[in-house]
Amino acid sequence: MALLIYVVEDDRNICEIESYALKNNGYKVEIFPNAESFYEKMEQHKPDLILLDVMLPDEDGFHILQKLRSNRETRDIPVLMVTAKSTEIDKVRGLDMGADDYLTKPFGVMELISRVKALLRRSHRSVQQNELVLDGIYMNLDNHVVNVNGEVLELTYKEYELCRMLMQNIGNAIPREKFMTRIWGADYEGESRTLDMHIKTLRKKLGDQGSHIKTVRNVGYRMEE
Amino acid sequence: MALLIYVVEDDRNICEIESYALKNNGYKVEIFPNAESFYEKMEQHKPDLILLDVMLPDEDGFHILQKLRSNRETRDIPVLMVTAKSTEIDKVRGLDMGADDYLTKPFGVMELISRVKALLRRSHRSVQQNELVLDGIYMNLDNHVVNVNGEVLELTYKEYELCRMLMQNIGNAIPREKFMTRIWGADYEGESRTLDMHIKTLRKKLGDQGSHIKTVRNVGYRMEE
DNA sequence: AAATTTCTTTACAAATTTATGACATTCATG
DNA sequence: CATGAATGTCATAAATTTGTAAAGAAATTT
C-alpha cells in the first residue's frame, strides 16, 4: 500500500510541484493549505510523513511542529520542514525543535524526493506497525485498538476477531464456516444465530461505517469499500 | 554519557573542522583516514553515528555504506554522507543506497551540527526512553524511582516491573501471557489470579492515577491516557 | 529464629461477554 | 406473489473472565 504524505503548504504553485513529484514516485498525497484543516485531518488519520511549510496563514510552522512533538500519537511521524528563509539560524531552529530534516526554497524536485525517501526509510526501519485501514475504520493489531472516525471503539474479543478477519480480507467474501472454525474453533456444528448476532453488534458499533460489512447470501460476509 | 561519532575522512583540514565542531557540541569523536582502519575499529566497537566521506584512498564511500547496510549489526547506525560533488544525481544515489542524510562540501559548521543532531534524535527517539511519563505518573528507570503526583511511590519488584511494562507500551494492550513470560519467566502454566492480584495492588498504590490501567478483556491490560 | 514483607493461591463475588431459541424479516425463485 | 430458505433481531440464560479478600508460602530483614 502506498505511503501517505500530508503536505501543509499555502502556496498553490509549490503545492502543485511537490504533489506532482511525490505522486510520480508512488506516494499518496493530501494537501492542506492551512493549519486548521491539517489538524482536523490528523484527528482522523495519520500520515507516514509530513511536509510542513514554515509560513502559513493561520499558524507558525514551528508551533505546529512543537505540538506534533508533544503528542504521543504524532511524536514519531517524520517531519520535513520547508522554509523560504535560508539563514542557517533558521535551519538550526527548525532542527532543534524536532524536525527530522528541512528544505530551503527553491529546491529541486529530486532533492525533495531523496529526502522524503531517506526519512521514510529510517522511520520504517524502526517501527513496522501492523495496521488495517478502510475508510473511517482503523485497526492497530499491535495495540489491539480500533478507531472509527477518529474515536476509540471498544470491541469485545469476538467482535474484534470478527472485525480483524474482515479487515484482513477486504473485498473478499469470507464463508460462514470459516468464521466459525477460525473464531469458534475446530468443528462447529448445528445452525445457530451466533455469527449473525455478532455481525449485528459489530455493524451497530461501527456506526456509519458499519455498512461496509456486506452480507453475501449463502456464503458469508464481506468487507467492502 | 557522550554520544560517539566516527568520522571517516582523509582530508586533514576537513577532519579538523568536523572534529572540532562535534567535540564542541559534546560528542565524542574518532577519526579514520581510510576504510581499513574504520572497519577494524567497527569490529570492536560501534558508534552512534557515522560521518562518511565519499572519496577515500582505499575504498568508495558508497561501497562502505552498502556493506554497513547489509550487516545486521550496523544496519541501524545512522550514516551522514559527505561529498564534494554537488550534482543532484550523486545526492540521490547516496540516499537511495541507504544514507540517512548527506552534506555537500563546503558546508557550514552549524549545518553539520544540525544534521547530526537531527539524525541522532531520530534514531534515539525510537530506542530507549529512561524517563517514562503519563499524566501524574513518572518513572525513572535509571534510578528505579516512581513518582505519583509528585510524591515518591514505593513499589515492590513485581509491581515495578508490571508498571514499567505498561508505561513502556502506553496505548498498547499487553497480553497476559506476555506479562507472565516476561516477569514470571519462561512458561508459566495453570490459571491463577496472580497477575490480577498485582494489577489490583498496583492500581491501588497509583491512587487516582490507577485508572489509567485498563483491562482488555480476554487479552490483558493497557496503559491509557 | 522471629518478624516483616512480598508473593501466590484459593474460593467466591462481580462484571462482562457470549450463546441460544423464538420469532421477524428479507431475498431469490418458480 | 407465494414460498421456503437464509439472515436479522431480541430478550435472557449460560458461560467466561476478571476483581477481591483472606490465608498460606516464600523470601527477606531484623
pLDDT at B95: 55
Contact call for residues A123 and B118 (beta carbons, < 8 A): no
Contact call for residues A174 and A220 (beta carbons, < 8 A): yes
Q: Which residues pair with B53 in a beta bridge?
A: B82
Which set of grid coordinates corresponds to residue A202?
Answer: 459489530
Residue A211 DSSP class = G
Bases of chain C with protein Cβ within 7 A: 5-12, 16-23, 27-28
Place domain A4-126 in its CATH homologous superfamily.
Response regulator (3.40.50.2300)
Q: Identify whether A106 is preceded by a cis peptide bond (ω within 30 of 0).
A: yes
The DSSP result for B152-176, as a single string, is: E----HHHHHHHHHHHTTTTSEEEH
User: Strand runs (DSSP E) across chain B, as ranges?
Assistant: 4-8, 28-32, 49-53, 79-83, 101-104, 131-134, 137-140, 145-148, 151-152, 173-175, 213-216, 220-223
- Structural fold of domain B131-223: Arc Repressor Mutant, subunit A (1.10.10)
Q: Give the rounded percent of residues in chain B with a pLDDT score beyond 70.
A: 88
pLDDT at B189: 61
pLDDT at A23: 93
Each residue of A120-165: pLDDT tens digit? 877 665 544 578 889 889 998 878 889 998 888 999 999 999 999 9
Please tell me the least confidently modeled range out of A50-54, B37-41, B101-105, B199-203: B101-105
Each residue of B26-51: pLDDT tens digit? 899 999 999 999 999 999 999 999 99
Q: Is A55 helix (H, G, I), strand (E, B) or coil?
A: coil
| CA-closest candidate to residue A101, choices A120, A73, A75, A126 | A120
When comparing pLDDT for A198 and A190, which is higher?
Answer: A198
Contact call for residues A53 and A9 (beta carbons, < 8 A): yes
Residue A211 has pLDDT above 90, yes or no: yes
- Identify the residues numbered 185 to 214 in chain B whose C-beta atom is closer than 7 Å to any atom of strand D: 193, 196-197, 199-200, 203
pLDDT at B221: 97
Q: Report the mean per-residue pLDDT for chain A.
A: 85
Residue A12 has pLDDT above 80, yes or no: yes
Residue B86 has pLDDT above 70, yes or no: no
CB contact under 8 Å between B171 and A145, yes or no, is: yes
Residue B91 has pLDDT above 60, yes or no: no
Contact call for residues A180 and A188 (beta carbons, < 8 A): yes
Please tell me the least confidently modeled range out of A134-148, A173-187, B208-222: A173-187
Cα pseudo-dihedral B40, B46, B52, B57, rounded to 10 = 0
Q: Do domains B4-126 and B131-223 have the same CATH topology?
A: no
Tell me how far apart the alpha carbons of residues A142 and A31 are, in angstroms, rounded to a whole number: 29
> Please, which residues have CB within 8 angstroms of residue B224's CB and are 6 or more apart in sequence?
B170, B171, B212, B213, B214
pTM score, whole prediction: 0.68
**In chain A, where the domains are located:** 4-126, 131-223
- Collect all residues from B whose CB is shorter than 8 A from any CB in A: 75-76, 78, 88-89, 91-92, 95-96, 98-101, 108, 110-111, 113-115, 117-118, 121-123, 125-126, 170-173, 216-219, 222, 225
Which residue is it, cell 492515577? B209
Residue B191 has pLDDT above 80, yes or no: no
Residue B55 has pLDDT above 70, yes or no: yes
> Please, which residues have CB within 8 angstroms of residue B187's CB and are 6 or more apart in sequence?
B181
| CA-closest candidate to residue B170, choices B126, B195, B133, B218 | B133
pLDDT at B128: 59
Given pLDDT bands bounded at 50, 70 and 90, which one contains residue B89?
very low
